[in-house]
Amino acid sequence: MTEAVRTQGLFKQFGQQIAVAGVDLVVPSGSFAGLVGPNGAGKTTTLSMITGLLRPDGGLAAVDGYDVWRDPVQVKARIGVLPEGLRLFERLSGRELLIYSGRLRGIPKADVEQRAGELLGVMDLEDAADKLVVDYSTGMRKKIGLAAALLHNPSVLFLDEPFEGVDPVSANTLTDVLRRYTASGSTVIFSSHVMDLVERLCDWVSVMSGGRIVAQGPLAEVRGERSLNQAFLDLVGGPRAAGGTGLTWLGSKAAEQ
Amino acid sequence: MSTALLFAQLKFRLIAGNLRGDVQRKLGFAFTLVAAVCVGGFGFLLMSLMRLAEPGLAADLTVIAFTVFFVSWAVVPLLAFGVDDTLDPARLALFPLRTRELAVGMFTASATGVWPAATLLITAGALVGLATGPGGVLLGVVAVLLQFALCLVISRLTTTALSSALRSRRGRDVLAVAAIFVVLLFQLPNLIANRGFGDPAALIESSAAVLRWTPPGLAAHAIADGGLAGVADLVALALVVLLVGWLWIKALGRALVTADASTQAASVRRSSGIIDRFLPDGPLAAVVTKELKYITRDPRYRIGWFASIVVTGVIAFSIAGDNPGARGPMAMVAGPAALGAMMLALQTCNAFGIDGRSLWMNAMAFGTERGLRTDLAGRHVASALIAVPLLTVLVVAVSLFAGNTGAILPALLIGWGVFGVGLGVGSMTSVLIPYTVPDRINAFTGAAPGQGGQAFAGSFAGMIAIAGLSLPVVLPVVLGVGWVAVAAVPYGIVIEILGRRLASSLGYARLPEVLAAVSRPT
């Protein structure tokens, strides 16, 4: 089994707070991998460190066998990224954004224009292609971000919460594109806390909690006999009972009468 | 009444909320408070001192002052939109309030606060300054209150009527640039007075004669008159206040149920620009094209460039204007050229600041420091494409104005050379002292919260370094050794290349840190 991503003891601290406490993430090549965990588990920090956007305080990260911090040329040519928070060049139109992103990587203009046109078509963004990204809705921004991440045909794709705030139609488009992409042998790693989605799409799951990987492996192994949602709740510490005391006033007004 | 009380309390809470923030916010609040007290007290004093002036002149000046307050109240809250939550009706739309109650509440909220209090105080100063006899005082009190109410309703009417436009992206863009024009507008009387266009007394008299019939003019006139004409003035003024108030309530009713215009986005032209056709295809052309688009589309660039052009122009012409027509020495032209080049180059001293959070896209594409070098080069080409023609126009204009056409060529060379030096310095400060430029720039800060120090250090270090490095070529020329100007452009290019190379090797090593510095929340 070749590995698309492997980290060893990846560690990051912000002031007193330890965000990532020694993560050993493994993702086999060609898999559709989900990185799941509650808010604040360190998913975004981990992905930022693997993609070279955030300097780790300790540990190693490698993509396709190349060290992220020692061999950035090889790594950056191989990865595509959709970071959290949809940070895009707001004052370019969708088409201009794709063309800029491709040409910055040295792809000839004619090729970039052709690829951008096709991506805009697949993402159903043709009508909005010449509008400024600042005026895009959340779903459109995720789609144009994904298009920009795919433009240079990376072999590993990192997506941070790609489906958050996306309408069902756009989400369907995104999953179609990603499925087609992994079917060709490329790797997708995405973070999410929507378990149904991870269960439906992924064949590999890594569960993070408190800055560590608490479970990792093929989907079937991690969830066992349970649903992934239940497995997740068991792993990260189950639901605290919402019944009992408190919130007695909450509910139908009719009951009071 | 309870609604009024509630809104007054809301406003007080919002004001007091400033005391709970970080140190910078507390300082900002303390500064506002002190400023308002000073402005209010000083304004009151000035208005009362009118008593010492000749009565006709005092009345004229009060008319003008009242008009200025009125215009300020109509315009300034527009610029602060998004800062004061009680100004936006949409924030209150979901509360079960009738339009009437909402109007009473928002009116109360407008009247609560340090600046309204300062306005009321200054306006009341006119009572001391103008009123004669008991009739004058009696009418004066009513006039002051009506004038104050007029200021409040007009500010409410403008913000409410424009609130949907102001919430849209395009509206805010326009407003950001408009802010500069407003600042200039307030400088206009100053300029006119200094330039000696006619006799100031006559100017005051003629403008007061017209403004006297505007609503604020009526108020001022009523105080000075104190008789039957004053009563008529006040009746007319009260009608105007009621009319504006009625318009405001209508606008409020409409604003609460009208969707904002933010979803209607216009398309941009599909063209990569002329420059792209002349540059070889590749990353450099991509950066230049993108940067030129940003300079025309992002209001923050527009503000920066516009401000540096205005500042340069004002300084250049005030230097050259000291002895217009006379055959000024070389320094009269070369000095402003060097200064203008520095002001324009300072725009590049935080090259990544406006890219901000989107800079990761560049960082992902750059596998080596060569990428960053190309990026900086692209930004420099784009800046030069705008600055070089601007400098040329400036130098030619200044030298014609100073009557020294012989200075054009050396001064041009100096200007271009200094701009090159500035680009080299700017690339260093961009990677060493980067900071986030917030989406909305205001008059007090051009940096994200907590980064004011970096912003100041960045421009200050940039200025010192540009000045210091430019001296070897600028000083001889200014002192009269004109031929040294020949060396200015090659010198500027060498500094640009050295600065860019050093900056890209330093910057590439600390790219994640630069990225973090320009991605601060604003």
Place of tokens 């001064």: B411
Of residues B28 and A116, more confidently modeled? A116
d(CA B114, CA B408): 52
Per-residue confidence band for A186, with pLDDT thresholds at 50, 70 and 90: very high
pLDDT over 60 at B410, yes or no: yes
Task: Give the model confidence (pLDDT) of A100-157 as tens digits.
Answer: 999 999 999 999 999 999 999 988 899 989 998 988 888 899 899 999 999 999 999 9
Q: How many CB atoms lie within 10 A of CB B198?
A: 11
Contact (Cβ atoms closer than 8 angstroms) between residue B422 and residue B342: yes
Tokens of B346: 């300072």
Taking an 8 Å cut-off on Cβ atoms, the answer to whether B272 and A130 are in contact is: no
CB contact under 8 A, A108 and B357: no
- Which of A75, A103, A135 is opposite residue B265, by nearest beta carbon? A135
Q: Is A169 at the interface with chain B, CB within 8 A?
A: no
Contacting residues of B for A47, CB less than 8 Å apart: none
Do residue B367 and residue A101 have CB atoms under 8 angstroms apart? no
Q: Cα(A101)–Cα(B117) distance, rounded to whole angstroms?
A: 53
pLDDT tens sequence across B218-227: 888 888 877 8
Which of B352, B323, B317 lies closest to B337, judged by CA? B317
CA B368 to chain centre: 39
With b for 16 or more beta-carbon neighbours within 10 A and e for fewer, the B410-431 pattern comes to bbbbbbbbbbbbbbbbbbbbbb
Q: Which of residues 47-106 of A touch B (CB under 8 A)?
A: 51-55, 72-77, 79, 81, 83, 85, 87-93, 95-96, 99-101, 103-106
Whole-number Å distance between alpha carbons of A47 and A81: 9
Q: Is B365 in the A-facing interface, judged by CB distances under 8 Å?
A: yes
pLDDT for B300: 82
Angle B88-B178-B152 from CA coordinates, rounded to 5°: 40
Mean pLDDT, chain B, integer = 82
Residue A115, strand partner residues: none
CA dist list (Å): B496 to B117, B308, B366, B428: 53, 20, 21, 10
Flag if A87 and B357 touch (Cβ within 8 Å): yes
Q: Do the chains contact at B265 and A131, CB–CB below 8 Å?
A: yes
Kindly list the residues from chain A whose CB atom is less than 8 angstroms away from the CB atom of residue B294: 89, 91-92
B372 — contact with chain A (CB < 8 Å)? no
CB B376 within 8 A of CB B431: no
Per CB-CB distance under 8 Å, the chain B contacts of A73 are 367-368
Closest alpha carbon to A52 in A24, A22, A74: A74
Residue of A nearest to B168 (CA): A135
What is the rounded CA–CA span in Å between residue B431 and residue A122?
38
Torsion of CA B448, B296, B302, B177, to 10 degrees: -100
> pLDDT tens-digit profile of B275-333?
778 888 889 999 999 999 988 888 888 778 887 887 777 777 766 655 554 445 777 78
Using an 8 Å CB-CB cutoff, list chain A residues near B282: 103, 106
Helices B55-79 and B169-195 pack at an angle, to 10 degrees, of 160
User: B193 and chain A: CB distance < 8 Å anywhere?
Assistant: no
- Contact between chains at B281 and A103 (C-beta distance less than 8 A): yes
Cα–Cα dist B109/B8, whole Å = 5
B331-345 and B369-402 helices, crossing angle to 10°: 150
With cut-offs at 50, 70 and 90, classify the pLDDT of residue A95.
very high
Position B457 confidence tier, pLDDT thresholds 50, 70, 90: confident
Contacts of B281 in chain A (CB under 8 A): 103, 108-109
- Average pLDDT rounded to a whole number, residues A203-213: 92
Is residue B278 within 8 angstroms of chain A, CB to CB? no
Mean pLDDT, to the nearest integer, of B189-210? 68
Q: Which of B84-93, B178-187, B492-501 has the highest mean pLDDT?
A: B492-501
**Summary mean pLDDT of chain A:** 88
> What number is the average pLDDT over the span B482-490?
90
Residue of A47, A70, A90 best to disrupt the B interface, most CBs of B under 10 A: A90
Contact state of B297 with A51 under an 8 Å Cβ cutoff: no
Q: Is A200 on the interface with B (CB under 8 A)?
A: no
Record: contact A93-B267, CB cut-off 8 A: yes
Q: Is B272 on the interface with A (CB under 8 A)?
A: yes
Across A160-164, B77-81, B229-233, B471-475, least confident range: B77-81
Q: Which of B265, B272, B366 sits opposite A132 (nearest CB)?
A: B265
Minimal C-alpha gap between A205 and chain B (Å): 25
Tens digits of residue pLDDT in B45-65: 988 888 888 888 888 888 888
CB contact under 8 A, A104 and B297: no
**Residue A239 sits at the chain B interface (C-beta within 8 Å):** no
Confidence tier at B443 by pLDDT (50, 70, 90): very low
Strand pairing report for A58-63 and A66-67: antiparallel
Q: Give residue A257's pLDDT.
A: 52
B513:A55 CB<8 A? yes
Q: List, for residues B348-372, the tens digit of each pLDDT value.
A: 999 998 888 899 999 988 888 999 9
Overall residue count recorded for chain B in this entry = 522
Which residues of chain A form beta strands (DSSP E)? 3-14, 17-23, 26-28, 32-36, 58-63, 66-67, 79-82, 156-160, 187-192, 204-209, 212-218
> CA angle at residue A66 from A61 to A71, to 5 degrees?
95
Closest chain A CA to residue B266? A131
Let me know: does A116 contact A63? Beta carbons within 8 Å. no
Instruction: Please say if the pLDDT value at position B191 is more than 60.
Output: no
